[in-house]
Structure formats: C-alpha cells, structure tokens
Structure 1
Amino acid sequence: MTTSNERPPIAAILALGLTQIIGYGTLYYSFSILAPDMARDLNWSSEWIFGALSAALLIGGLAAPTMGKWIDRFGAGRIMTAGSAIAAAALTACAFAPGKVAFVAALIAIETASNLVQYGAAFALLVQIRPKVAQRSITYLTLIAGFASTIFWPITTALHTHLSWQNVYLIFAAINLLVCLPIHAWLSHSVSEIRKREKNEAPRHVEPSLPPSIRTPAFILMVMGFALESFVNAALLVHMVPVLSGLGLGAMAVMVGMLFGPSQVLSRFTNMVFGGGLSQLTLALISAVLLPAALVVLIVTAPSVLGALAFAVVFGLGSGLNSIVQGTLPLALFGSEGYGKRQGQVLAIRLMISSTAPFILAFMMENIGVSWSLSVAAVLGTVAVAAFFGIMRLMRPLTRPQPLLNGR
C-alpha cells in the first residue's frame, strides 16, 4: 500500500509551478525586454544597465547563504511568503526610482528577493513538505516552471506596447502581492498540517548517501561543477544571438535561439518519464557533458544551420537537466537535514560566478573572436564534467565489493 509519504504533493507542486513562472517571469525574464527603455529614462547605455543587473545578481548571491539558514530555521514557506512581499515592494521601488542610485538599490532588492521565491527556496519547500519524494517533486516543478520565459516574454512585450516600463513593473508587483504571497502563505500552513498528519508514519528525512569522511571534498567538487555550468549557461544565454550571428548565421540566429527553451522543457519531460532508473550523480554527469558537447558541435559545424540547430537542442537539453540536478543532487548526496543552508551556499557561489559570465564572454569575443571564446567556454564545461567524475571516484570504494575474510 502506498502511503502519503510516497506520493508527490501534486497540489503544492502545481501551486509552486505558478509562483515560479511568475517569479522568474516578473523578476528576471522581463528585464531584458524593459532594459532599453530603462536605459533611455536613466540616460544610461545598455551596457551600464546590464552591468547594474550583474552587480545586483552578485550582491544577491552574497546574501544567499544567510537566506538558506533562514529557510532551515523558519521554514521555506514563511521565507517565500516574506519574499513575495519584498519582491512586490522592490518592483514598486524600482518603478518610482527618482534616479540611478535609487534604481540600482531597488534592483539589488529585486535580485535579493528572487533568492527568497525562486528555485532554491521552492526546492527546499518541496523537501520540507515530503522529503522521500522530493526528487520527483523537483522534476515535476521544473517541468512546469520551464515555461516562464515562453509565457512572460510575450506578456511583457504586449504590456510594454501600451504601458511604460514603470507601469509594467507596478502590475508585476501587484501579481506578486495578490497571487504569489497568498499561495506561499497557504503552502507554509500546509507544511505544518502535513507534519501533524504524518507524525506517526515512517521517518521523514532523507539520509546522506556519503559517509562523513568524503562529504567535504564531494561538496567542493559539486559546487565547482555547478558553478562552471552556470558560467557557461549564463554567458551563452545572454549572448546566444550575437554568438550565432558572429559565426555567420545572420538572420537564422534568432530562429535557432528559439529552440533553446523547448529543448529545456523536453529534457525535463524525458527525465520525468525515463530517468527514474538513473542516479542523480549520473544525471548531473550527463547534464555536464551535454553543455561542452553542444559548444563543440557549434564550433566545428559553423556556419551550418543544421549544426546550429543541433547546438541549440543539445545545449537546451543540458541546461534543462542541470536545473533539476541542482536541486536533487545535494539532496541525494547529503540528505535533507540542513538542505536549505547547503542550497544557499551553492546558490551564492553560482550567482557570483554566473554574474560575471556575460561580461567575460563579451570581453573575450571582442579580443579573441567568437570561435576561440566558445572554445574557452567548452574547456570550462569539460572541467565541470571532471568535477562530477571526481565525485564518482570518491564514491567508488563505497560500491566496490568487499573481499571475503579467510577466503569465505
């Protein structure tokens, strides 16, 4: 008989899926569409506007470890509820910012609030609701949230056709306040109710799969792998169209780039259906291999349109799978106790690395050309593969058959 502990909390996943779409759509994906008008109103260049975003991401990353501790201490539901209120206030402050300093301060508040309501906190909430099935729950959630850009790019564009960027941000603030905050408050209450209802069932926590002696080196390798993948992802996502154009694809660059989002969703769906028999470390390794492999395909085949299409699909598959294992691998290796704190530590390093990626790739493309820049990114992606292989090597003595004593 299947107990409630063995079933993913579907209502919570669907509710979180909606708030993740809104969270990523309003706090992240909308920025690139509104940025040109922001730059014009503030009398800044586009480079300075995106530089301000990078600085905000970096500062938000520095706050992530503290937020992770809060998630463990107070519960992810309460933190996400507060995060929705902060996000609404930050968007409002950005809309009414009288000058550059106030705008940057509000942007920092937006990116700090993002850490309280996006994947890191949402994954922790699913772990706290039902740890035993959290890996499946995270997969389902990322499948839903993968449509955030597909939904919010056209919504933002349509709103901005008729409204100023300030008014668009005010609408987004209202959505965070009136939709996301009540959902997060309900989920916070649900965690308490589930714990009361299931207190007589089997233990709720997930045990670590690693012995204490190798947890520290394994954690360092995992963070290194995730950070390098985030660097490659962030660099290519911001510059995908310029990169493809620089390789001679011209007008086809936009069409090729459009394949990336659907490929992300496809990888999550494929993992949901067929990935149940694979360990999370194996999935992390597959994800890490796909990113540099996609770059090699692009470098070798450029300016072939078919090669560029293959790149977009393979890169999207790797990126989509990566967003899952960033939540499930720490749970599988280190268990559910202290999950929020560990996620905060990982998120901080990832954001600090990825926030510099667009600038570094732009600098390299200007000085050494597109092909050599992609080659450097492919090498960094290969180092990420080596990091996950390193974790496998650490675990090998744990799975190696032990010799029988006295020949028995």
Structure 2
Amino acid sequence: MLHLKPGRRRVLRLNRPHAPVAVLAVAQLLAWGTLYYGIAFLAPAIAADTGWSPPSIFGAYSAGLLVAALLATPVGHLLVRHGGRAVMSTGSALAAVALMLMAASEGTGLFYAAWLVAGAAMATTLYEAAFSTLREQGGSDFRRVIGVVTLVGGFASTLFWPLTQGLVAELGWRTTALVYAGLNLAVGGCLSLWLPAYAGPSGSPVATTKPRTAPCRIVFPLAAAFACAALATSAVSAHLAAFLAGRPDAIALSAMVLIGPMQVAGRWLEWRLAHRVPVRATGLLAFLGLALGLALLAWNATGVWTVFAFAILYGAANGVLTVVRGGAAAEWLPEAGYAATLGALSTPALVARALAPLATASLLAVWGGAATLWLLVLSALAGLAAFSLAAARVRIPA
C-alpha cells in the first residue's frame, strides 16, 4: 500500500489508487473513537454537569446502538444503490450533526434525539459500510485490505479514551463534542474527495460473480455465529470491571489495558497470514480462542496468569472476528450482493451488542460473575458451532 521511492533517501509515498484504503482507515479510527468509545469519558462529565443519572445517559447510548442495528440491512441496500462515497460521506455528516445536538442538549429529550442520529451515523460509517465500500473496488487482496482498515481502527480505544479524557478535562464535554463534530465533517470531506465515484452494481468488478450455493444455507448460521460472539464481547466490554472485581487494582487494570493491543496484534497476525490461512481456519480459531479465554476467567478468576491469558486470548479473538465477518461474507456468499448480505449478517450481531450490556447487568445481579461468565462461554461455543455449520455448507474453497 505504501511504496518506497528508490534513491538514497527512502521516502514514503501514498499512491492515488490506495488513497481509499488510507482515508477509510482514518475514518474508522475517528468514527469508532467519537461515536462508540468516547462515551466512556463523556458520560461522567455529562452526569456531573447536567445531573442526569448514568442509566439515562447510557440508555441514550444503547438506543443509538439499537438504531444502528436496525438500520444495518437498509444501509446495505443503500450501499448497493448509491455506493460507499455517498453513504459514508452522509454518515460523517450525520455524526457531526449528532455531536452538535449532543453539545446543545439541555434536556434528555434532545440528548436522546442526538443519540438516535448517532445510531444512523454508526450504521453508515462503521466497519460494515467500510467493508462494502472497499468491496466496490474488487481485487483479490480484499481480505488483506480490510485487515489494514481494521488494524488502524483497532487503535480507536487506545487513542480516544485518553484523548477524550484530556479534552473533557481542559475544554468540557460540550466543547469536546463540538471538536469531534468538526473532525467528522473534515473526514466526510476527505471521503467525498478520495473515494472513487460509484459505477453502480453493473459496474462493480464483482457484480457478475454467480453464487455457488444457496445464500440462506450459509447466511443463517453465519449470522447466528456472529450474534453469539457479539453477545459475549459486548457483555465483557461493558462489565469487565465487574468480572475482574476482587483482584488487585494493578492486575485488573493491566489486563484491561492489554486487551486493546492484543486486538490489534490479532488483526496484524491475520493480515500477515491472510494469503496462507483460509478464512474458515481463522474463524474457527478465533471462536475457539474467545471461548477458551472466557472459560479461563470463569474457571479461575483470581489467578494472575488466568487473568492475563484471558486478556490475550479474548483481545486477539475479538480483533480477528471483525476481519472474519467481512472476509467470510466476501468468500462464501454471492459477491454481487455483498453490501446487502453483510448488512443482513450484521443486524443480529448489532442487536446483540446493543442489548447484551443490559441483560448482563441483570444476570450479574442475580447469579454473580462466575455463573454469568459460564453463560458467555456457552454463547461463544454456540457461535463456534454455528460458524462450523456455515463453513461445512460452503462448496467453494475456503
């Protein structure tokens, strides 16, 4: 992607054909950072300033996630009809509007409206939209290309958690939201400038590819697999502090910090091996790693080595599963309908991601951490079984 100019000095130069990959990578970093991860450090400041309760603040956030889930399939059809440049540029504009509404909120009504708009922005800017936009370009390196985009996007929490914390401390949460709105507008302009014009479904280099198996035979188990994984990962992301309660603060914090880098490391390893390891094997290993990591934490949550082994396995598996979702949809399902199919695959997973934190909070209150973790292990194993079923039904080489 980056080429070295020959000569004495090695100068990095980004070629125009690779500009879409670069701008989409930056767009993912910003979208995930401002719309998904930023709330962790915005919420306490919002509560302190407005007096709103944390459940009401995170209720708005959950409503946004649910809107994103419900819009996944319609947005897939919009991507087929209008292409990634139009849809993702609009999504960046919607993100800016949502953040400006958030900054202007004096009551929970406008705040909830802002997050509903943010949900529409998530549906049109996050990985599903980016993968479909990249698929418009065609090419045999699609899986490695989405690996690059997710590799950069994986740094969103690492960058935006401390950035948001610092901006809120210096500028306040409202000004921070306005700064993020401006950044999203700037990225939307870059998407309009650097993404190629859409030639339409008939002009796509993969539009004439014929499916070699009935889509529903793979779509249903594959969607179920990613929904099971999303249920487990969303529950852990929202309640990791509760699952690690009882350990020394230094150990718990170290394990939490380790998850982000391991997510990036897993994606980097997948990117390096994409040409040699089929998506079937990668997916099976990722689901197995997710289940094993959760099982270690449930089995011995007080052991230092099990906590760190959990962080390594869980982080790497969670990172790789994002690439597997995009890669499996491209390799196993009818390529002409990639955007719409990816939307259909993602909808159950996004609904699970939206609802899992609330459901897990209830389970923790009734059953405690260990029993809840074992339920999440079962969810990951169910995902492994569903993915295995989908893989077995694929009649083309994985």
TM-score, with normalisation over the residues of structure 1?
Answer: 0.88
Asked whether the 8 Å contact 2:19–2:195 carries over to 1, the reply is no
Deviation at 1:21, TM superposition (A): 0.7
Which residue identity is paired with 1:184? L
Asked whether the 8 Å contact 1:228–1:381 carries over to 2, the reply is yes
Aligned to 1:132: 140
- Write the deviation string for residues 344-370 of structure 1: whole angstroms up to 9, x where unpaired: 222222111111111111211111111
Aligned to 1:72: 80
CA distance in 1, matches of 2:208, 2:222: 19
| Alignment counterpart, residue 30 of structure 2, candidates 9, 22, 32 | 22
Asked whether the 8 Å contact 1:129–1:191 carries over to 2, the reply is no
Which residue identity is paired with 1:228? C
Aligned to 1:294: 293
Deviation at 1:131, TM superposition (A): 4.3
**Comparing 297-306 and 64-73, the one that deviates more:** 297-306
Deviation at 1:45, TM superposition (A): 1.9
Which residue identity is paired with 1:326? R
Aligned to 1:254: 253
CA distance in 2, matches of 1:273, 1:240: 30
Which residue identity is paired with 1:100? T
Which residue identity is paired with 1:281? R
CA distance in 2, matches of 1:378, 1:83: 35
Which residue identity is paired with 2:19? A
Asked whether the 8 Å contact 2:300–2:306 carries over to 1, the reply is yes
1:184-195 paired onto structure 2 within 5 Å: 184-189=191-196
Deviation at 1:191, TM superposition (A): 5.1
Which residue identity is paired with 1:181? G
Asked whether the 8 Å contact 1:8–1:136 carries over to 2, the reply is no
Aligned to 2:273: 274
Deviation at 1:292, TM superposition (A): 1.0
| Alignment counterpart, residue 178 of structure 2, candidates 155, 170, 177 | 170
Deviation at 1:113, TM superposition (A): 0.6
Residues 206 and 120 of structure 1, relative CA distance in 2, 3 Å threshold: farther
Residues 277 and 271 of structure 1, relative CA distance in 2, 3 Å threshold: same
Aligned to 2:5: none
Aligned to 1:372: 371
Which residue identity is paired with 1:187? W
Note if 1:238 corresponds to 2:238.
Answer: yes
CA distance in 2, matches of 1:395, 1:332: 9
1:53-132 paired onto structure 2 within 5 Å: 53-132=61-140
Deviation at 1:392, TM superposition (A): 2.9
Residues 250 and 365 of structure 1, relative CA distance in 2, 3 Å threshold: farther
CA distance in 2, matches of 1:339, 1:19: 21
Which residue identity is paired with 1:223? A
| Structure 1 unmatched ranges of 5 or more | 1-6, 400-408
Three-state SS of the structure 1 residue aligned to 2:336 is coil
| Alignment counterpart, residue 155 of structure 2, candidates 134, 142, 147 | 147
Asked whether the 8 Å contact 1:8–1:134 carries over to 2, the reply is no
Asked whether the 8 Å contact 2:226–2:346 carries over to 1, the reply is no
Asked whether the 8 Å contact 1:95–1:165 carries over to 2, the reply is yes
CA distance in 1, matches of 2:185, 2:271: 32
CA distance in 1, matches of 2:136, 2:363: 43
Aligned to 1:318: 317
- Write the deviation string for residues 71-90 of structure 1: whole angstroms up to 9, x where unpaired: 10000111011111111111
Which residue identity is paired with 2:262? S
CA distance in 2, matches of 1:315, 1:392: 22
Which residue identity is paired with 1:66? P
CA distance in 2, matches of 1:205, 1:280: 22
Three-state SS of the structure 2 residue aligned to 1:258 is helix
- Write the deviation string for residues 10-35 of structure 1: whole angstroms up to 9, x where unpaired: 32211111111111111111111100
Deviation at 1:210, TM superposition (A): 3.9
CA distance in 1, matches of 2:68, 2:82: 20
CA distance in 2, matches of 1:376, 1:302: 15
CA distance in 2, matches of 1:320, 1:393: 23
Residues 8 and 309 of structure 1, relative CA distance in 2, 3 Å threshold: farther
CA distance in 2, matches of 1:351, 1:18: 22
Report the structure number with the largest CA radius of gyration: 1
| Structure 2 unmatched ranges of 5 or more | 1-14
- Write the deviation string for residues 354-394 of structure 1: whole angstroms up to 9, x where unpaired: 11111111211111111110000000110000001112332
Residues 171 and 347 of structure 1, relative CA distance in 2, 3 Å threshold: same
Three-state SS of the structure 2 residue aligned to 1:130 is coil
CA distance in 2, matches of 1:275, 1:71: 26
Aligned to 2:342: 343
RMSD: 2.2
